[in-house]
Each structure stands twice: as structure tokens, then as C-alpha cells.
Amino acid sequence: HARAFLLSRSTGSTVLVGVNDDAEIAKVKGHPVMALSERYVSISGCRWVSRIVPNAPYRCDLQWLDKVGATIAVYGGDIAIDASGRDSNVEVKEAGRYLSTKRNQGPGGISTTALIDRILLPQ
């Protein structure tokens, strides 16, 4: 995620990071790998993050972006699917307020999914 924060910073001067609570993540992806408190500590230590926005909804919409004062939503290259199987960012994409970063761009880039696979499916 730090790489996405860096790429987000290159789009403007302020990077707000919305953090989903455990229940929100569990609805879509199952139990989170890191506890909420661990996610806060990890993100707060990133120099490219201006502010953490707690209790972010998994489904990003224009009302939420406006509420937190965000101009655009920046996500990794994968499509964020919500619990109903829909693209959770469709509204902000249609409004032109969405930017997709190339996931794991550059050397050493790795996803949480790849780390879990390494643990569960060692070669």
C-alpha cells in the first residue's frame, strides 16, 4: 500500500487514506490479516500520508469523497468488488473522480494476496 500512497502523493499535495474497519473488510474479503490498530500504526508511519480517515466504507461514493474533502479516489489496478459482486467504485469512476495506479509498480512490489499465497502454498 505504501507504493500506492507514494503514487497518490504525486497527483497532489494531500493524501487522505480511508481505513475500513474489520467488519467492513470481513464482509468482502474475509478476516483481515492485520488488526485495525496495526493498520492505523502502519499507515500513520508512512510519510506520504497526510491524514487517516477512519471507518471508511468499502463502497466509495461521491457523497463520502465530498464529506472527507477528497477530490479523487485512488486505488490499485485491481477492481474492488463489494459484497454484492459489483465494482465498489463505479460511481466515482463515472463521475471522473477515480484514478487507478499500476499495482505493485517497480521492483519488489508485492500484494497481500501474494504474501498469503506464499504462506499457504509454499513451493
Q: How confident is the prediction along the chain (123 residues), in pLDDT tens digits per residue?
A: 777 888 888 877 789 999 989 998 888 888 888 899 999 999 999 999 999 999 998 888 999 999 999 988 887 767 777 778 888 889 999 999 988 877 655 555 666 667 777 888 877
Residue 108's domain spans which residues? 2-120
Which residues lie closer than 8 Å to 58 by C-beta, 6 or more apart? Answer: 20, 24, 25, 27, 28, 80, 82, 83, 88
Instruction: Give the pLDDT of residue 32.
Output: 86
38: three-class secondary structure by DSSP? helix
pTM of the model as a whole: 0.75
In this structure, what is the dihedral angle of CA atoms 26, 31, 33, 37, given to the nearest 10 degrees?
70
